[in-house]
Amino acid sequence: MAQHRETHASAEAIAAKDTLGVSEAWVMKLLLRGGPIIALFLLAGYLSAVSPHFRTTSNFMNVLAQTSVTAILAVGQTLVIISGGIDLSVAAMMALAGSLSAVSMAYWGWSVWLGLPLGLAMGTLLGLINGLVITKGRIPDFIATLGMMTTARGVALLLTDGLPVPSHVTAIQLKAYLPPEIIWLGSGTVLGVPTPAVVAVLTALLGWAVLHHTRLGRCALAVGGNREAARVSGISVDRTKITVYAFCGFTAGVGGLVLTGRLNSANALMGDGMELQSIGAVVLGGTNLFGGEGTVAGTAVGALIMGVLGNGLNLLNVSAFWQRVVMGLVIIAVVVFDQWRRRRFGA
């Protein structure tokens, strides 16, 4: 008994010593992984200095609202990338989920309490299909989601006839409108904070909880970190991947509803290119593109960098063409820095 207590006590001692290790690790992390946060502050500081409009509260809220859809998509993307996959179809799933939800509410007369869950279910279903095709069809994630990207856009075009839902014509002739709750979701505020930003924060909290506090998150880290070790430890790689892709589809559904609200209508081509922005946000946030490590908080910072950069370039009257060039170069520069940091510090 005494011996047992002693063993126990020293185990505690190790655990205690380790909390010290953890706090040290935190300082190191801030210095090493703080790259994105430092970049965000430098960027915001510079823009505040050169543009008085940038530092206004209204502009700040504007940035939050603009960033939120990318951030929402990036939460699901983070989990997918951590588990060793990649999802090119997030924007297309978002468009289809948003379009279906809008059609149900504007044309089929569904209430918002049916139309919202329909959009989320659609997103989840599409993600589930991605997961099943990848695991059961044994094809690379890249290819499966590339197929889904085109297919989902096509289905959305068929569903909407290529028109916005509701369009001007239908809105006037059929009195087909989206319910005010949807509009609030996209353009309202909660205690002065744009609703989309609130939704993004809630989604990020959900993603964080899944990643750090659930079996699924642990399995995703294990599968992405070493697929074979996960398998040999009795973790079902297929089930993990399918669930993670379904979760990503779910966040795409959330993004679709928010974007529909922001645009006041849904359309099949909305959010074009956002799959790359979501991947950009994940990578900017320090998640390892090859899986096994990453954080949702980092992704949120990554999304903010992209949002602030886009906003700043607008305020500085940089042409839309140049904005694309700058965005692309920034992503490359940050990842080059990140790779260098990993090699240099072995972090």
Partner 1 sequence: MSAGEILRAEGIDKRFPGVHALHRVDLDLAEGEIHMLLGENGAGKSTLLKVLSGSVPKDAGRILLRGRPVEISDAHDARTLGIGMVYQELSLIPGLTVAENIFLGRWPTRAGGLISWSEMADRAEGVLGSLGVQIDPRARVRSLSVAEQQLTEIARVLALDVQILLLDEPTSALSDRERDRLFGLLRGLRGKGVSVLYTSHRLGEIREIGDRVTVLRDGRKVGTLPVAEAPEDAVVRMMVGRDIRERFPKAHVPIGDPVLTVRDLHAGGLLAGVSFTLRAGEILGIFGLRGAGRTTLARALFGMTRSTRGQIVVNGKEIVITSPEQAIGHGIGYTTEDRREGLVPMMGLPPNITLASLDSVTRAGVIDHREEQRVGARLVEDLRIQPPTLARPVKYLSGGNQQKVVLAKWLASRSRVLIFDEPTRGIDVGAKTEVFHLMGRLCGLGVGLLMLSSEIPEVLAMADRIMVMHRGRIAAEYGRGQATQEDLLRCAVGLAGSRATEEA
CB of 10 to partner 1, least distance (A): 6
CB of 85 to partner 1, least distance (A): 16
How many other C-beta atoms are found inside a 10 Å radius of the C-beta of residue 191? Answer: 5
Contact of 249 with 41, CB cutoff 8 Å: no
Q: Please tell me whether residue 215 binds partner 1 under the rule CB under 8 A.
A: yes
Contacts of partner 1 in 11-40 (CB under 8 A): 11-12, 14-15, 17-18, 21-22, 25
**φ, ψ (nearest 5 deg) of residue 219:** -65, -40
Between 116 and 222, whose beta carbon lies closer to partner 1? 222
Rule CB under 8 A: choose which of 1, 3, 191, 228 binds partner 1. Answer: 228
Output b/e per residue, 58-74; b: 16+ Cβ within 10 A: ebeeebbbbbbbbbbbb
Please say whether the dihedral angle defined by the alpha carbons of residues 159, 164, 169 and 174, taken in this order, is positive or negative: positive
Rule CB under 8 A: choose which of 43, 121, 157, 216 binds partner 1. Answer: 216
User: How many Cα atoms within 13 Å fall on the side-chain side of residue 220?
Assistant: 32
Site string for partner 1, 286-315 (x = CB under 8 A): --x---xx----------------------
Output b/e per residue, 284-310; b: 16+ Cβ within 10 A: bbbbbeebbebbbbbbbbbbbbbbbbb
For partner 1, which stretch binds (CB under 8 A), given 55-63, 109-117, 124-132, 227-235? 227-235
How many other C-beta atoms are found inside a 10 Å radius of the C-beta of residue 96? Answer: 32
CB of 26 to partner 1, least distance (A): 10
Contact of 309 with 327, CB cutoff 8 Å: yes
Q: Please tell me whether residue 341 binds partner 1 under the rule CB under 8 A.
A: no
Between 10 and 173, whose beta carbon lies closer to partner 1? 10
Of 70, 119, 133, 100, give the one whose Cα is nearest residue 300: 70
CB of 122 to partner 1, least distance (A): 24
Between 192 and 234, whose beta carbon lies closer to partner 1? 234
Site string for partner 1, 243-282 (x = CB under 8 A): ----------------------------------------
Contact of 278 with 91, CB cutoff 8 Å: yes
CB of 279 to partner 1, least distance (A): 20
H helices within 34-56, ranges in order? 35-50
Q: Please tell me whether residue 225 binds partner 1 under the rule CB under 8 A.
A: yes
Q: What is the DSSP letter of 290?
A: T
For partner 1, which stretch binds (CB under 8 A), given 8-16, 35-43, 95-103, 329-337? 8-16
Provide the residue type at 217 as one letter: G
Q: Please tell me whether residue 219 binds partner 1 under the rule CB under 8 A.
A: yes
* Footprint of partner 1 (CB under 8 A): 7-8, 10-12, 14-15, 17-18, 21-22, 25, 212-219, 221-222, 225-226, 228-236, 288, 292-293, 346
